[in-house]
Chain A
Amino acid sequence: MSEGDESRESSESVERAAKEEERRLVHRVREGDVAAFDALVRRYYNQAGAVARRLMENREDAEDLVHDAFLRALDRIETFDESRDFGPWFYRLLINLGINARRSRSRRRTEPEPIDAESTLATPDQETLRSEIRTRFSEALAALPERQRVIIGLFEVDGYTSVEIAAMLGVSPETVRWHVHQARHTLRGVLAPMQDER
């Protein structure tokens, strides 16, 4: 057996063990175990937060969404098929909840944070150009389709792979890669003048 096969086999067995552990955790949650629910929240909290933030475009709304999604998942835990993975089921629930919340709730605006100047050596003209590009970049990001905006953030900023994002969003990895490609194309177009300047 080659080294590659061995490492693949060991990573598969680690994944299997993790899934089995999660299955036991979900089973205990169905029995009303508080500690198991806490462990499940810890396991999914960060990823859920990352998706929610991009979906709601606002920290407070994102936190409310994560909170509501966990409670909704618990409320419906008896309808969850234990032979399946919890993650995709939970993210679908979170995304559907987020999309509905966005439609029904007026958006709370977060005060834009001042972005640190990239270089103190820049001339006033250069700084003005950069500031303009950053504004245009933010606008371009906000104008991306919801799914594309979530995907490009998860991929580039949080470092998830296309397979991981596909599992979260219930789409194929190819679809994720296509969205990454499209979003990059749009955003790089906005960043190009800044890179030319360098």
Chain B
Amino acid sequence: MHKKPNWGRQDRRRDESPRRGDVRLGDEPTHDPSLASALSDAERALYGPTPNAARATLLRKRIVGDARPLLARLAGRLASPRWWEWTARWSRAAIPLGAAAGIAAVLAVVASRDTTTRVIRERTLQGQPPIVRAAVSGTQSSELLESVVGPATDEWLISQVFAGTALEKLREEIRDSSTPHD
């Protein structure tokens, strides 16, 4: 947009804002035929006669003729836009699309991170001893113990208890048989 015309120092000195509430400024002034006639004469004397229709047509044709290269440039630009014009034309759609794609990419990365870590760990631990697998996979101490010595089931515990009792009995029997009877 063009800035407001700067009418010159002389105008600024004489120019005053219209006073508010001045009734003369509220209504459209009526035209003054005698002033109009005097002005018309004075303008003709000062600026020369107004151009006639033929002269006006000639000037108009000159303007349009001289504008042809500019118009051709505008038409050419439309046919093969420069890269920044092409970008500017698509920027309205491209910016939201790019932002949406970025958000989707971040979400995808976050979602796949756990899966990727698990797969890598599994592949790395393949063929490793159970104790290493258990230690690396962050299992609890009881689970680690199970992985080394086997699961601590109820049956195992009972058998161990009973095994202890039988051993104690056998010891007693041996002690009894070796002791001389009265």
Give the B-binding residues of A (Cβ under 8 A): 29-34, 37-38, 41-42, 45-46, 49, 53-54, 56-59, 62-63, 66-67, 70-71, 74-75, 77-79, 81, 84, 89, 92-93, 95-96, 99, 110-113, 115, 134, 137-138, 141-142, 145-148, 152-153, 155-157, 159, 161-163, 169-170, 174-175, 177-178, 180-181, 184, 187-188, 191, 195
Contact = CB atoms under 8 A, between A and B. Distances in A.
Interface string B104-123: 00000000000000000000
5 contacts: A29-B74, A81-B1, A89-B2, A146-B11, A147-B15
Nearest to B24: A181
Interface string B24-40: 11101101101110111
What range describes how many residues of B lie at the interface?
35 or more
A49 B5 contact: no
Nearest to B2: A92
A148 B15 CA distance: 9
A115 B38 contact: no
B27 to A, nearest CB: 8
Nearest to A58: B47
Given A153-B43, A178-B18, 12 more contacts: A31-B75, A34-B68, A54-B43, A58-B48, A67-B63, A70-B63, A137-B38, A145-B15, A155-B31, A156-B31, A157-B43, A159-B31
Contact of A138 (B31, B42, B60): B42
Contact of B60 (A31, A45, A56, A113): A45
B39 A141 contact: yes
Contact of B28 (A145, A147, A161): A161
A59 B46 contact: no
B54 interface: no
B6 A32 contact: no
A66 B5 contact: no
Contacts of A153: 39, 43
Contacts of B8: 99, 145-146
A93 B2 contact: yes
A177 B56 contact: no
B4 A157 contact: no
Interface in B65-82: 66-68, 70-78
B84 interface: no
A145 B66 contact: no
Contact of A113 (B25, B34, B49): B49
